[in-house]
Structure 1
Amino acid sequence: MNIPILEARDVRKSYGRGSNRFDALKGISFRINEGDSVAIVGKSGSGKSTLMHLLALLDAADSGTILLAGDDTAHLRGSRLNKTRNQTFGFVFQQFFLTGTTTVLDNVMLPLKIAGVRRGERRRRAMAALEQLDLADKARNKAANLSGGQKQRVVIARALVNDPRLIFADEPTGNLDTQTGAVVEDILFTLNREHGITLIVVTHDEDLAARCDRRIVIRDGLIIEDSAEEAAA
């Protein structure tokens, strides 16, 4: 049996204490296989963004286990945790998180700089990622001068530059018009289907979720629907 790339076992997360306590996740369990495309769907406050942060090792669960390729991530600390995130995951967020005053190339090279890759190699790999996204001609432009669609493609290039096994996309088309959003979606699903990169999309957009192989619906911190379980039934 193949080991899933990600597995959550009875994962729980709360915020606050006493009467102010909010249980964001109340016991979440599921597996994601390498190469899958999975939509995590839910309304605001459902727990879907909390779950993504835990799966991406950006936050820690209060209890339960998250396994990455079969290994318990609770043992990851400090530089090991940062290295694992940097080398294994790519991130595409609605807000872009680009440094507008620096060039597109510098923005894309940032994960490689964090990883300690030499400048010449950083530049080569970043340019290759930009070429893949048809942005090589924008390499010297300031990020602030790009359109919304171009910014999101730069974000995808930055996510790809370390050859990730998995991309987390949090409302990746939320700030884009319908036509531009469709282009960004096509890029993400091409990376998934043609390059085998596992894709986890967090969204409230049902049309975007429908493009994924699997749909997990969260409400009030619990999974209320999982299309993989329905298919197996």
Structure 2
Amino acid sequence: MNSAVLVANEIRKSYGHGSSRFDALKGVSLRILEGESIAIVGKSGSGKSTLMHLLALLDDPDGGQILVEGSDAKTLSAREINRLRNQDFGFVFQQFFLTPNATVLDNVVLPLKIAGVGPKERNARGMAALEQLELADKAKSKAINLSGGQKQRVVIARALVNNPKVIFADEPTGNLDTATGAVVEDILFALNKEKGITLIIVTHDIELAARCDRRFFIRDGVEETTTNVEGVTS
């Protein structure tokens, strides 16, 4: 049986104070197993992106506990958290967050540069990631000159360049047309099945969510239901 890579226990998160306070999460628990694909599903404002940000250690919960491979995130040093985010976690967002006038290769190798990897090795690993995504011919092109689908593949290459254990994908096809979105989906699920990368997708797209091993439905900051690939509710 696969072990848990991430566990959330009764986590809570609020924004604002007094009459303007908004409770984004109201005690959510979730266990994510190594190598599975899971969709966190909900409408805008449901708390799904907040949950992903907390699981990815991009923010701290106000209450509850997050475990990373059994270790309480609160006990991790800033250096350990930065290493996790830079090496073990990969991120794919619908906004791309590419540097427009930098080359595709420079965008892809940014995590390696942050990690202190030398130019020769990081360029070799960056090119390997681009070849995997069939973008090697675009390595010297500026990111601003790419199509939406190409930009998203660059983002995936950047997420892969450090051989992550987990990929967080927040509405990864939200800015893409249907055909291009399907290609991006196929790439992400191939990485999950072939490389064993744990895939956590935040989406409101039920069809995308249906491709995952498990679906975690959230509404108004609380869990609604969790269903597996056969549609069994737990």
TM bucket (normalised to shorter chain) is over 0.9
Displacement of 1:194? 0.7
Distance 2:180 2:200 in 1: 20
Q: What secondary structure, in the 3-state scheme, does the structure 1 residue paired with 2:61 have?
A: coil
Counterpart of 1:120, as a letter, is: K
Q: Percent identity?
A: 70
Q: How many pairs are equivalent?
A: 233
Distance 2:204 2:32 in 1: 20
Distance 1:78 1:128 in 2: 30
| Structure 2 equivalent of residue 108 of structure 1 | 108
| Structure 2 equivalent of residue 159 of structure 1 | 159
Scaled by the length of structure 2, the TM-score of the pair is 0.97
Displacement of 1:16? 1.1
Counterpart of 1:94, as a letter, is: Q
What does the per-residue CA deviation read over 1:149-186, in whole Å, with 9 as the maximum and x for residues that have no partner?
Answer: 00000000000000000000000000000000000000
| Structure 2 equivalent of residue 76 of structure 1 | 76
Counterpart of 1:90, as a letter, is: G
Q: Give the root-mean-square deviation of aligned CA atoms.
A: 1.4
Scaled by the length of structure 1, the TM-score of the pair is 0.97
Displacement of 1:80? 2.2
Contiguous gaps of at least 5 residues in structure 1: none
| Structure 1 equivalent of residue 124 of structure 2 | 124
Is 1:183 equivalent to 2:183 in the alignment?
A: yes
Contact 2:92 2:155 in 1 (8 A): yes
Counterpart of 1:130, as a letter, is: L
Displacement of 1:83? 1.2
| Structure 1 equivalent of residue 150 of structure 2 | 150
Contact 1:3 1:70 in 2 (8 A): no
What does the per-residue CA deviation read over 1:116-135, in whole Å, with 9 as the maximum and x for residues that have no partner?
Answer: 11111100100000000000
Displacement of 1:87? 0.9
Q: What secondary structure, in the 3-state scheme, does the structure 1 residue paired with 2:54 have?
A: helix
Distance 2:195 2:2 in 1: 19
Contact 1:25 1:220 in 2 (8 A): yes
Is 1:99 equivalent to 2:99 in the alignment?
A: yes
Counterpart of 2:141, as a letter, is: N
Distance 2:97 2:76 in 1: 25
Map 1:15-34; keep pairs closer than 5 Å.
15-34=15-34
Counterpart of 1:103, as a letter, is: T
| Structure 2 equivalent of residue 223 of structure 1 | 223
Counterpart of 1:42, as a letter, is: G
Counterpart of 2:117, as a letter, is: V
Distance 1:206 1:20 in 2: 31
Distance 1:232 1:92 in 2: 28
Q: 1:2 to 1:199 in 2, by over 3 A?
A: closer
Displacement of 1:231? 3.5
| Structure 1 equivalent of residue 53 of structure 2 | 53
Contiguous gaps of at least 5 residues in structure 2: none
Q: What secondary structure, in the 3-state scheme, does the structure 1 residue paired with 2:65 have?
A: strand
Distance 2:225 2:75 in 1: 30
Q: What secondary structure, in the 3-state scheme, does the structure 2 residue paired with 1:208 have?
A: helix
